A and B are shown apart, each in its own frame.
Chain A
Amino acid sequence: MLVIKNLVKKFGKSYALEGLNMELHKGELYGFVGPNGAGKTTTMKIIASLLSADSGEVWVNGIDALRYPRHVKEQIGYMPDFFGVYDNLDTQEYLSFYASIYGIVGNPAEKRIDELLELVNLREKKHDYVDELSRGMKQRLCLARTLLHQPKLLLLDEPASGLEPRARLELQGVLKNLCAQKVTILLSSHVLKDLSEMCTNLGIIESGKLVIEGPMKEIMAKQKAENPLVIKIMSGHDIAIKLLKEMPEVTNIASKEGSISFHFYGEESKEAELLTRLIANGVSIASYKREEGNLEEIFLRLTK
């Protein structure tokens, strides 16, 4: 659905994007993460034909986005990191305006608007003025706007910023629903916990380059394997420390409140051997587990 090859964008002498490569497949919910100024918004603006690229390729559903921006705009729904709403228009009129841009007028427009208001849970706000809606409602209204022309690719720049937990959950629900309908979503957010819960794929960008990309499950599993092991000791604490120090696969041993945590770099068989050895030497173990991985740790480890 979206292919980006060696995308370069410079602002003056500094590079915003430095040979970015990305690929999104149909129905994927791709979490696009990076520190401020890493190039997330620049990437989205180039895809949405709001910014020119210095070099590289951007293909949206088989269309060269850099050569045919007008054609690509039909395929894309872009939601920037600000609301951009008009005064003196109610929710329905606001959506009607954007629907008319895509040639959706009259009864089909009314039907589509009703469907979308239902989807984003704003049906009861149909005749409320846009500038009187809450932040979360405006956010959902903007999402409805991007969906009016049934785009194949959604570009959502920080859609959850400033939203309270309930509104974030509602937004998550809507996005998951859209993915189920085979809409491809490129979503940038700083709320990493949300991304790890709903995204199928993840890409972390740093200084205009992707530092990691792949299916969310794989990335999380890889991260989990690198997390420390934690054993809770009932008795034989000192023996356990001594035994662990003797093993070459074990590093970073830390002891805290009857628990010992350490990094283990070895195969699973070696891990089992370690446990057997501890028990055989009279160490009484209450629990043995690997610390759960989270996206924040991955993010902090891969970015500066």
Chain B
Amino acid sequence: MPSEKNLELDELERLERARDDADGDARPGAPEPAPDEELDVPSDALGTAARLWSAASGQRWRLVVAAVCSVAYVAGSLGATAYSAGLIDHLWANIQASFAAGEPFVVSLDNAGIEILTFLGIWTSAWAAYTVQGLVMASFAERLNLRLRSQIADKLARLPLSYYDAHQPGDTISRATNDLDKISEVLQRGLLQLLMAFAMVGGAIILMSTYDLALTAIFVAFALVAGVVTKLVTSYTLKVAAARQEALGTLTGRVEEAYSGRAVIKAFGCEEASEADIAEAAERLAETSASADFVTNAIAPAIRLLMRLCQVTVGLLAGGMLVMGQISVGVFQAFFQYVMQASEPLTQLSLTVNMLQGALAAAERVFALLDEGEVVPDPERPAALPDPVEGRVAFEHVRFGYAPDRPLMRDVSLVAEPGQKVAIVGATGAGKTTLINLLMRFYEVDGGRVTLDGVDTRELTRSGLRRQFGMVLQDAWLFEGTIADNIAYGKSGATREEVEAAARAAHVDFFVRTLPHGYDTMLSNDAENISQGQRQLLTIARAMLTDPAILILDEATSSVDTRTEQAIVRAMEAIMENRTSFVIAHRLSTIVDADLILVMEKGTIIEQGTHEQLLAAGGAYAELYRSQFA
């Protein structure tokens, strides 16, 4: 019966959600779990809904058709039940008439057969409406999601670096995946289900009341109790789910810690203590998840029990009426059908409302991402750089701060002549990357200007500016693809020879050749399968291949030992001939020959000059130098 059909869908949805919650939690590298367990409430439900509606332009007809079909389906199924009351009575009357005549009864077209076929016909029209609704909606939510995802992809390319620096990657990923999935789940089923539930319950109650008011009142009373119970249990469900979440968090923390500190655990013989530690957390997780699973899976049957008690009560009373001849067999059975048709959607109603709220809150987060401020567009008529670019970089009275109220650089000026080696030193957090951020226009200056070959970098397109730079960053970012693809990243269409030449120059060719698939080795999972040092060497090869005018080395060699570093620096020196370079290094030994040393502290440049000048000045650099070479 349709009632069972609804039950089935709801059951699936709940389990699906339970599953998503369960595995979204602990997968490392996956989006951080959104705080699903608390009731997620949208701050502007109407506005968000309106915006979703306008985002669905071109697809809205699907929703309209589906809504019409849903109502048709509900009307059809309620109508079929009403028709079945008359049908059973008709059958029974005919059977009794045959029995009275002392002959067996056989269904034929003119003997109730036509009515059975009509009954089938009514159901078939309900089925048709249901099917159309299902097919029309199959792609609605995913099409809408695809559109929003595509807008997010667009947005990611236009967001300023300040967004990326201020947000956890997991947060953004979660908006593009979990949040949109929540929306599609609700759009796919929840919304129409809500509509159907209201129509079904309302229609069933109205039809029931045409048979008998007292019985209807009993049903309504039970239904209200069921509604209240659901509401109460739902909040309890959230509580046990939160307890499980917490237990899972604890266990995850301990397991991560134990795996990262494995060598220490083994070296100090602490295996047993560590096992006990993990076992305790695992036990706690087992307990909380047993009760969470129990509660989530027991609500539906508990409420169903309530509705069954309703059925028993109604059955006894209606049975009595049947015995008394107050109602017919058909009405008795039809009434029962209504009770069953209306019971299931009722038990799911409050859960569906929660889901709807959660989806709107998710949509708000997605829209918030889409509303983030964007980078200033490139100038319409960008300035031209001389060809070839000489590589003279100058900061002229630069003023900058990450937050407008907390300025870091107040008035910084420096000049890097073509081919010069500029070294940047300073403690962690002293602002060495700030300089690079401004140079590459990852951030815009608040005042003054940065010029390349005398051209204000803001007058260039960003891509035109950045093309002049080769960059090797602290965390060696590689993507899922072959080693060759990764090295050739900055130069599409590079030949295998060019790739190999760059790899040789970066001293990584030998390593690559020892891999079973050489340059075609796939790097996966953020390239966990190769060491940090090797990853850095690959990014150096990548930078070398682009043959840039200016090189930036951001502590790139810090995971490589001194000798390898020297080898790389020599290779760099060769390739950088007549190119400007900015080097950030831990070890002063590699920068004593720099043409210009910038000493940074608290986000600004406090000293600049050559090694000799700075030593003679006896400032911060001199002290740093003495402490390293004492």
A and B part of one assembly? no
- B residues apposed to A, CB below 8 Å: none
